[in-house]
Chain A
């Protein structure tokens, strides 16, 4: 693994372009575009205010920068640096902004979720979508970019509208049987829409593209319900993580639960491999499992090396007890992600914040548990192969693959607390983001 130097960053805004050629990063009000492989500066744009959100268009030709405080969105072109576009929402304010899948329309959500304005870069037309729902995932696009689902709320009832993205024509509009719709997400095949209720009620509804209700699933009543969901890349499985520390998997044929994965504090199964991160003493030890880091890392003074040890089951993991009287307690399955080949599912139980659980979907069993020294900040699968990169807020990046597990220290002085990471489309490199800096890690093909 090779690491680049550290670059300035603000707001954890570091994004690879969808075609993988460029890397955009923000430093306060400046937008810096670099080449993805050489990290050379390609373009530098200056916006009017501190940038809060950036997004690449789907064809990687444009990039939008949203400044919520000023209510302005500025769009820059990669092909023509002189081209500029500014969308001012005025007194309506701005809470969220995103591209449409064709890369020529911008959807702005105004303050108080009054409406969603659809600005077109091709024509002078403006469209409005009224009564959008103020929830976590209120707008969802299908993977092929043809349809958009918007969650709406009128007269204390939830509705879903399905629009055709090519001409913003309303295709379907139907109500949902939810108390308080929390989020919607399309299946990767674009034919099924999952809509789930607020955490006070465990209910997930599955709608077909033409608005018919296919199925409803309720696991239990009264206790806190769904926390996160994830579709498998083949649309075969829907994984639902809930506050009772379990993940339930539904299959796409009958929409019934086929299994549930538990996340107990003690891992007892003998077939599971538990990798425990262990602080390594400064003297070099022979390691059997982790590949020793490159020579460059040995020179850094402040690094405390760590390596992975295989712990013998049964292993008891460190778990925390969340405050019972606060809302949104830190318990339950907060993060879920399927690997791109549909073979693995990575989950994180917020009760056990230091562990990543990797499940084998072919056997529907727990495969690996990674126990880290610090709490997990984020993890992401490599878009090409079953490789999981994990960051825990220190200056190390951890990569797991079925062949083994690696803990790599990012070289450099000072602290570099990695809060988030983002893979390149090809899976050859990834950007590691911290609050003030970011660096790019290049992975060689032979490793791991």
Chain B
């Protein structure tokens, strides 16, 4: 619509020519004016051009002006005539009207644009909403279909469930029926059995009668001769006494059986009680180390009191023998208590050990553990070594046993072993003989020494005797002759008196007779020894012992 622009520019010119210009304007741009007017209401098209020319031509200018005036006044614009009656046109008002119209046109255009925009927006909104609506409708359809499907399934499952319940009920009924059937059949069976049995018994009776009738003829025992009883006794008549005896025997058998069982039970009981007592003692012995800890003070008190009680109980050993309820209960209760305490103790120890693991306690425990581990390692090594030894020994043994199939080699081997053994044995024999010889030598030397010692002793004794005698003689010359005969064997004389004395003593039984007899037999050596050992009074005290020792040596030598 480029014609718009062309219209606005040439409009403002002189007044006089306005009309003409107006008209020429009209003429020049009727299509544009017309098109303007027409734009408001009608789309521009070439057909309108004809209409514009149709509206105002040179002939009907006045009518068209009046028509326009009328329209404008109805629209509220001032009239375009200068006066109300005249035909002179008020140009100002015409221009104002045109301006107003233009403004209105702009406004309308803007409004139209807005409306169009809104329309578009609304259109797109509408489209959008329609889409949503369509989608939602689809979804709704889908959900409806789903619901229907689920409902269908639910219905099916419920009907299945009902069927199963029904089946179960039927089965239960059947089972019940069968059980009833069984019981009824059982009673029926029993009843029939009883009936049949009665019949059978009747038959049996009849048969029995028949059989008993023929007893005389057929049933018999032939025996060459009657055999004696197994225990050799005669048979006894059946009397009341025998009946009573039988009863007695039976009761005796029963009683002995019961007594035996009771004894066994008592023994078992006693053993168990002993075991319990031992256990109790051991548990008590395990508990005291707890005394040091402050926590268990309160428990300690109870422990101590319990200990006292228990010790008191333990002392009453006779209580064990009684099997009355109270003692039993006491025992079991006390054991339970002790056991619980022991358990607590062990638990505490476990806690301690766990604490040691985290390394909180004293070195003692740690070291002991280390020691323990070392010891266990040592023991393990030992075990391994022993095992290896055992294995090697086993192998050797097997080798020995599973000697090669060849006899010769086995014989050879055996010979080898035998030779070895033989040589060893020979060596050992040699050693043994040597040792024996040595022993013999030593023995001989010992005996000689013993003999020597004995003789020395004798000599010494003689010396002593003579010395004492001299003393005595020196002390009392009166009693010498009278008492020398009667005084006993302490004196071993070197003179004839002594010989006489010795003979007397040898005749009398003295403890030293062994000692004295060789002396009497060998008087000469004694003199020799006396000569040699004249000054050997060493052993005063302890006489009895050496004498005996010598005596025994003498015996050995002999």
Contacts and interface: CB of A to CB of B under 8 A. Distances in A.
A233 to B, nearest CB: 15
B242 A167 contact: yes
B220 A209 contact: no
B227 A121 contact: yes
A114 B221 contact: no
A167 B218 contact: no
A75 B225 CA distance: 12
B221 to A, nearest CB: 5
B230 A191 contact: no
A156 B218 contact: no
Interface in B183-232: 190, 193-194, 197-198, 201, 204, 207-208, 210-211, 214-215, 217-231
B230 A59 contact: yes
A102 B230 contact: yes
A426 interface: no
Given A59-B230, A91-B211, A123 B221 contact: no
A90 B246 CA distance: 34
B247 A84 contact: no
A210 B218 contact: no
Contacts of A110: 211
B253 A88 contact: no
A191 B253 contact: yes
Interface in A88-105: 88-92, 102-104
Given A102-B230, A114-B211, A222-B182, A88 B225 contact: no
A124 interface: yes
Which size bracket describes the interface of A in this complex? Answer: 35 or more
Contacts of B545: none
Contact of B250 (A83, A171, A222): A171
Interface in A234-248: none
A92 to B, nearest CB: 5
B234 to A, nearest CB: 9
Contacts of B247: 171
A164 B246 contact: yes
B138 to A, nearest CB: 61
B230 A114 contact: no
A119 interface: yes
Contact of B231 (A86, A92, A102, A156): A102
Nearest to A154: B201
A210 B235 contact: no
Query: Which of B193, B201, B223 counts the most A-chain CB atoms under 10 A from its CB?
Result: B223
Interface in A60-83: 62, 75, 77, 82-83
Interface in B241-273: 242-243, 246-247, 249-251, 253-254, 257
A104 B253 contact: no
Contacts of A86: 221-223
A208 B254 contact: yes
B238 interface: yes
Given A87-B221, A122-B226, A122-B235, A179 B253 contact: no
B217 A83 contact: no
Contact of B230 (A83, A104, A147, A180): A104
Contact of B223 (A114, A121, A156, A191): A121
A119 B218 CA distance: 15
A162 to B, nearest CB: 8
B226 A156 contact: no
A169 B245 CA distance: 11
Nearest to B223: A85
A156 B198 contact: yes
Nearest to A130: B208
6 cross-chain pairs, A with B, having the tightest CB-CB distances, nearest first = A90-B218, A90-B219, A85-B223, A191-B257, A164-B246, A87-B221
Given A90-B215, A147-B250, 10 more contacts: A85-B221, A86-B223, A88-B220, A88-B221, A103-B230, A114-B204, A114-B207, A124-B226, A167-B235, A208-B254
Interface of B: 182, 190, 193-194, 197-198, 201, 204, 207-208, 210-211, 214-215, 217-231, 235-236, 238, 242-243, 246-247, 249-251, 253-254, 257
